[in-house]
Chain A
Amino acid sequence: MSATPNNNGAIPLLAATGLSKLFGGVVALDKLDLQVFANQILGLIGPNGSGKTTFFNVTTGIYPVSAGRVVFDGQDITNLSTQAVYRAGISRTFQRSRLSLALSIFDNIMIGNHKRLNQGLWFNLARRDAFRRQFEESFEEARELVQVFDAPLADRMFEAIGGFPMIDRRRIEICRALISRPKLLLLDEPSAGMTQEETTELMDDILEVKDRFHGLTIVIIEHEMGVIERITERCVVLNFGQKISEGAYQEIARDRLVQEAYLGIE
């Protein structure tokens, strides 16, 4: 294990050790050691191209790792398929919202509920009464979840998501990630494309959700330093795929390396 602060001896929920990812000659992640502790919100910051999203993609199995290990909740998830990572309890959102715009809010959320729904052919096609019960239960659950974010939205569950503004899409994308009750939620720049007020509103929602889902751990990639300062308990700063600093926002903001690399202060 690396010599990073270990949060009073707690065992991290997610631990990357010596994690590297190379795209040809480009080093996207360079022997990264990163720990995420349970029940915390960890901010992942750094300049563009510093490897934040790559870290998400490697963790969730979209890219295979080049070297190193990722352990989640006691299970080695290095190079597991995206499907297996999801089943293990990690859900994510995407930098450029990847909702299916032609589908309804409910449909989009149910895509995220895949592992908890009965996917058997016989169940789905022949046992319509049983299917109906599962459908109605899932609907109530999804509606309650959406209500946490925005009550009016919960009355429009069967409208196509393509007709909603960006903030609602972000909300639904987070709902899609949360419906399966993951242990770890990875948020990739949830404020992208939104106004200051919308961002504030969305962050309130995220904090409320974290309160409701006891034991939810969040990693958030964010460029808005105000957001990071407000909602994270710990931050990790990346530059050129390496960790250059970590700690509470106040600490890293004072860090000279961080200032040079990121905050733009000479």
Chain B
Amino acid sequence: MTAPQDPRSLAWTIGAAVVVVLYVILLLGVESQLEIAGLLAAGIAAVAVAARFGVVARLGRFLGERDALLNTLVVAGTLVVTAFFHGDAFVLLLMATVIIYFIACLGLNLQFGYSGVLNFAGAAFFGIGCYTSAVMTAHTAVPHLLILFAGGAMAAAIGSILILPVLRTYSHYSAVITIAFGLLFKIFLEVNDALGGPQGLRVKGMNVLGWKFNSNIDIGGIEVSFYVNYIVLGLVLLALAFTFVRRVERSWIGLNLDAVRLDETAAACFGLNITRWKITAFTLGNFLIGLAGALFAMMLGFIAPTNFTFGDSLILVSIVLLGGIGNPWGLVVATAILIVVPEKLQAIQEYRFLLFAAMVILILLFRPEGLLPRSLRAYFPGWRTK
């Protein structure tokens, strides 16, 4: 059975979506630092007021049972914003970056949000994807779309080596191991001449059957930035990754991962193979992170070890913490905040780590479940008992 139709809530929801899209366009469009700061403050205030009057909760309940509607609105909204900024390379790059980071954070969410395996080497696995795509586009004739998946597979494969020491340790000790791995990875890149050393590598742009992603498009005399290509492909991959993560969550697999995270002993007493489920989450998560990295490298066209520092890993972890551990939608909000705000508000660019740290601490203190807390598992949203 599906949830009952409710035209009034539907109208409200679409209205809210239009407001959000307009707000995003405004925020991305204005240049003056003062206006941006004002808009951000207004946005926070509006959300606070809406939450106070229960609008946010009602929207959440309504959309919670209507997956397809929510997905459609988000994709449509992104396309509208993309169309609006079709010539603005800076804004489009920002949007594509958010989409790609979102894919990577979905992977981290599988690991950390569901199975509880901490991974402070997110940037390293992202980097493995990047370098795989750099080397493979330069030296092989493998179709570029397949290279994306090769990037994911490579990250998953290297992750399966790291999982051995991780499984032998508990909580923060295993976190320390992943930190060490991330640092080693960066040093390895810096001393490895075949991979360009500290100078990094050029990466060829995505090329699908002669369709060159890295050249601008001309549609009926309107010049469209090449980043639109990456936004569209990114959205497709994101839709796949999102569906995948959602299905993991809404299945016995997701239940197993939660059980492993919440109480290993109890889980083991009911037959769960703790190792198997941790490896599953870690490997699938790294695959998504590597996939995102491979696409990111093709879009940027150039990568260097300095893109994959411990700080970058921390940003990925902060996104998951901020957004709402285990809630994929929370990641959108958090990715947007952590990627877009420092870029737009140049004034805080230098202090962004300080700011992120403060935000994470505040969130952990006052709202430990994140901005958009995860709701209880609904295996089939809208499903009612007969």
Contact = CB atoms under 8 A, between A and B. Distances in A.
Interface stretch (A15-23, A94-102, A256-264): A94-102
Contacts of A143: 385
Contact of B268 (A82, A104, A132, A157): A82
A83 B253 contact: no
B168 to A, nearest CB: 17
A125 B247 contact: yes
B253 A100 contact: no
Contacts of A91: 269-270
A62 B265 contact: yes
Question: Could you say which of B255, B256, B263 has the most chain A C-beta atoms within 10 Å of its C-beta?
Answer: B255
Contact of A176 (B253, B270, B272, B379): B270
Given A82-B268, A159-B376, 8 more contacts: A62-B269, A81-B268, A91-B270, A102-B262, A111-B266, A111-B272, A114-B272, A124-B252
Contact of B269 (A86, A125, A158, A160): A86
Interface of B: 244, 247-248, 251-253, 255-256, 258-259, 262-263, 265-273, 280, 376-380, 385
Given A92-B269, A114-B271, A103 B253 contact: no
Contacts, number: 92
A158 B251 contact: no
A114 B377 contact: no
Nearest to A56: B269
Interface of A: 60, 62, 81-83, 86-87, 91-92, 94, 98-100, 102-104, 107, 110-112, 114-115, 117-119, 121, 124-125, 128, 131-132, 135, 139, 143, 157-160, 176, 180
A135 B379 contact: yes
3 cross-chain pairs, A with B, having the tightest CB-CB distances, nearest first: A124-B251, A98-B266, A100-B262
B260 to A, nearest CB: 10
Contacts of B267: 111
B369 to A, nearest CB: 9
Given A104-B376, A107-B377, A125-B244, A119 B270 contact: no
A100 B263 contact: yes
Contacts of A159: 376
Nearest to B261: A100
Contact of A60 (B251, B269, B273, B280): B269
Given A104-B376, A132-B380, A160-B376, A98 B253 contact: no
